Amino acid sequence: MWYFWDSLNKFNIWHEQVKLGLGLPKPGINSATGEIDNNAQMTTDYTEIKSYENGFIAYIENDIANIYSDNIGVEINPIISNSME
C-alpha cells in the first residue's frame, strides 16, 4: 500500500523507527551464495519517498505497516505517473 505524509520530517520519524527495527543499514548480500558481499552497495533505507501533491508518499508492505504503525502516514491510493514508477 501507499502511504502519505504531509511533511518530510514526519516521514523521517517513521522511517527511522523502521530502519532501526530492521537493523539497517545492512551489508549487501551475494544473491547466488547468500554471503555478505563487501563490494556490494549497503542497504540503507527501507523504502523510497516521492513527492506527491502537497506532501510525500512511499510504498509500504502490509506486514511492515502493521508492525511499524506508530507515526505511519495515511493510507492512500495515488495516481502514479510513469515518472514516479
Domain ranges of the chain: 2-26+42-78
Of 62 and 85, the structure prediction assigns the larger pLDDT to 62
* 71 Ramachandran zone, left/alpha/beta (phi>0; psi -120 to 50): left
pLDDT digits (tens, 9 = 90+) for 4-57: 999 999 999 999 999 999 999 999 988 899 999 988 889 999 999 999 999 999
62, containing H or E segment: helix 62-67
- In sequence order, what DSSP letters do the residues of 6-34 get, joined into one string? SSHHHHHHHHHHHHHHHT-SB--B-TTT-
CB 72 within 8 A of CB 59: no
Q: In terms of Cα–Cα distance, which of 1, 19, 5 is closest to 73? A: 5
State the pTM of this model: 0.83
